[in-house]
Amino acid sequence: MDLFYFAWLREKVGTGSEQCALPAEITTVAALIDWLKTRSPGHATAFADLALVRVAVNQDHAGLDAPVRDSDEVAFFPPVTGG
Amino acid sequence: MDLFYFAWLREKVGTGSEQCALPAEITTVAALIDWLKTRSPGHATAFADLALVRVAVNQDHAGLDAPVRDSDEVAFFPPVTGG
Amino acid sequence: MIRVQTEDFDAGALLNGLMDDPAAGAVATFTGTVRDDSGTLTALTLEHYPGMTEKQLQALADEARRRWPLSAVVIVHRHGRLVPGDRIVFVGTRSAHRAAAFAACEFLMDWLKTRAPFWKQEQHGDSRSWVEAKSSDDTAADRWT
Amino acid sequence: MIRVQTEDFDAGALLNGLMDDPAAGAVATFTGTVRDDSGTLTALTLEHYPGMTEKQLQALADEARRRWPLSAVVIVHRHGRLVPGDRIVFVGTRSAHRAAAFAACEFLMDWLKTRAPFWKQEQHGDSRSWVEAKSSDDTAADRWT
Residues D31-83 pLDDT 10s: 999 998 888 999 999 999 999 999 999 999 999 999 999 999 999 999 999 99
Region C102-119 average pLDDT:
97
Residue C61, pLDDT above cutoff 80: yes
In a mutagenesis test of the A interface, which of D3, D33, D49, D112 is the best target, namely the one with the most A β-carbons within 10 Å? D49
Of C17-21, C58-62, D20-24, the poorest mean pLDDT is in: D20-24
* C132 is a domain residue: yes
Q: What is the pLDDT of residues C78-102, one digit of tens each?
A: 999 999 999 999 999 999 999 999 9
pLDDT band with cut points at 50, 70 and 90 for residue A3: very high
Per CB-CB distance under 8 Å, the chain D contacts of A12 are none
Of C12, C84, C98, the CB nearest to D32: C98
Q: What is the pLDDT of residues A19-51, one digit of tens each?
A: 999 999 999 999 999 999 999 999 999 999 999
Residue type at position C20? D
pLDDT band with cut points at 50, 70 and 90 for residue B65: very high
C-alpha closest to that of C58 among C98, C137, C6, C4:
C4
The rounded mean pLDDT for chain C is: 95
For C79, the domain range is 2-140
Shortest Cα distance, chain C CAs vs residue D110, angstroms: 9
Q: Which chains pack against C, by 3+ Cβ pairs within 8 A?
A: B, D
C-alpha–C-alpha distance, residues D73 and D58, integer Å: 10
A49 touches chain D (CB under 8 A): no
Number of domains in chain A: 1
Look at residue C134 in the predicted model and tell me its pLDDT: 87
Which position has the higher pLDDT, C21 or A55? A55
What percent of chain C is modeled with pLDDT above 90? Answer: 85
For the domain that residue D90 is a member of, what is the CATH number? 3.90.1170.40
* D105 is a domain residue: yes
Q: What is the pLDDT of residues C129-141, one digit of tens each?
A: 999 988 888 888 8
pLDDT band with cut points at 50, 70 and 90 for residue C23: confident
Region C47-71 average pLDDT:
98
What percent of chain D is modeled with pLDDT above 70? Answer: 100
Region B10-36 average pLDDT:
97
CB of D53 closer than 8 Å to CB of D118: yes
Per CB-CB distance under 8 Å, the chain D contacts of A83 are 32, 77, 88-89, 109, 112-113, 116, 118, 137
Of A50-64, B38-52, C131-145, D64-78, the poorest mean pLDDT is in: C131-145
Shortest Cα distance, chain D CAs vs residue C40, angstroms: 13
Contact yes or no for B78 and C133 at CB 8 A:
yes
Contact yes or no for B80 and C77 at CB 8 A:
no
Look at residue D24 in the predicted model and tell me its pLDDT: 82
Q: Which residues of C touch B (CB under 8 A)?
A: 32, 46-49, 51-52, 55-56, 77, 88-89, 109, 112-121, 130-134, 137
Contacts of A2 (CB under 8 A, 6+ apart): A17, A19, A72, A73, A74
Look at residue C22 in the predicted model and tell me its pLDDT: 74
Integer Rg of chain C from CA: 16
CB of B17 closer than 8 Å to CB of B3: yes
For A49, the domain range is 2-77
D82 touches chain C (CB under 8 A): no
Look at residue C1 in the predicted model and tell me its pLDDT: 95
B7 touches chain C (CB under 8 A): yes
Which 8-67 residues of chain D touch chain C by CB within 8 A? 10-16, 19, 22-33, 35-37
pLDDT band with cut points at 50, 70 and 90 for residue C24: confident
Q: Which residues of D touch A (CB under 8 A)?
A: 32, 46-49, 51-52, 55-56, 77, 88-89, 109, 112-121, 130-134, 137
Of A60-74, C40-54, C57-71, C123-137, the poorest mean pLDDT is in: C123-137
CB pairs under 8 A between B and C: 75
Contact yes or no for B82 and C109 at CB 8 A:
no
Of C71-85, C106-120, D122-136, the poorest mean pLDDT is in: D122-136
Region D79-90 average pLDDT:
96
For the domain that residue A53 is a member of, what is the CATH number? 3.10.20.30
* A82 is a domain residue: no
Contact yes or no for C119 and B4 at CB 8 A:
no
The rounded mean pLDDT for chain D is: 95
* B6 is a domain residue: yes
Distance of CA B18 to CAs B2, B9, B13, B52, Å? 6, 13, 10, 21
Look at residue A11 in the predicted model and tell me its pLDDT: 97
* B83 is a domain residue: no
Look at residue C136 in the predicted model and tell me its pLDDT: 85
C-alpha–C-alpha distance, residues C18 and C13, integer Å: 9
* C145 is a domain residue: no
CB of C22 closer than 8 Å to CB of D84: yes
How many CA within 13 A on the CB side of residue B59? 12
Region B53-60 average pLDDT:
98
Q: Where are the beta strands (DSSP E) in chain D?
A: 2-5, 26-33, 43-48, 70-78, 80-82, 87-95, 118-124, 127-130
| Prediction ipTM score | 0.93
What percent of chain A is modeled with pLDDT above 70? Answer: 100
* A73 is a domain residue: yes
Shortest Cα distance, chain C CAs vs residue D51, angstroms: 27
A52 touches chain D (CB under 8 A): no
Look at residue D144 in the predicted model and tell me its pLDDT: 86
C134 touches chain D (CB under 8 A): no
C-alpha closest to that of D106 among C40, C28, C35:
C28
Q: What is the pLDDT of residues B6-16, one digit of tens each?
A: 999 999 999 99
* A29 is a domain residue: yes
* B23 is a domain residue: yes
Residues pairing with C82 in the sheet: C44
